[in-house]
């Protein structure tokens, strides 16, 4: 005989997966933002060095 489904456990697992996905997406978004900020700051410094 099959086991009785544990809906609360299944829901908790889905919620954990959803939360982990959200956190990963947010982390990648913050990394891209930081990378853009450093990339936008670097050309202005190198432009001054080339023309100076």
Tell me if the pTM is above 0.75.
no
Question: What mean pLDDT do residues 21-45 have?
Answer: 88
Answer whether residue 50 shows pLDDT above 70.
no
**What is the structure's pLDDT at 40?**
85
- CA-angle at 37, arms to 31 and 43, nearest 5°: 130
**Quick one: pLDDT at residue 27?**
97
Q: The tokens of 44 are what?
A: 């202005």
Confidence of residue 6 (pLDDT cuts 50, 70, 90): very high
């Amino acid at each position: 005989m099959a086991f009785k489904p544990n809906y609360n456990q299944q829901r908790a697992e889905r919620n954990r997966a959803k939360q982990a996905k959200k956190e990963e997406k947010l982390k990648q978004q913050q990394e891209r933002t930081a990378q853009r900020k450093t990339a936008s700051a670097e050309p202005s410094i190198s432009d001054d060095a080339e023309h100076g």
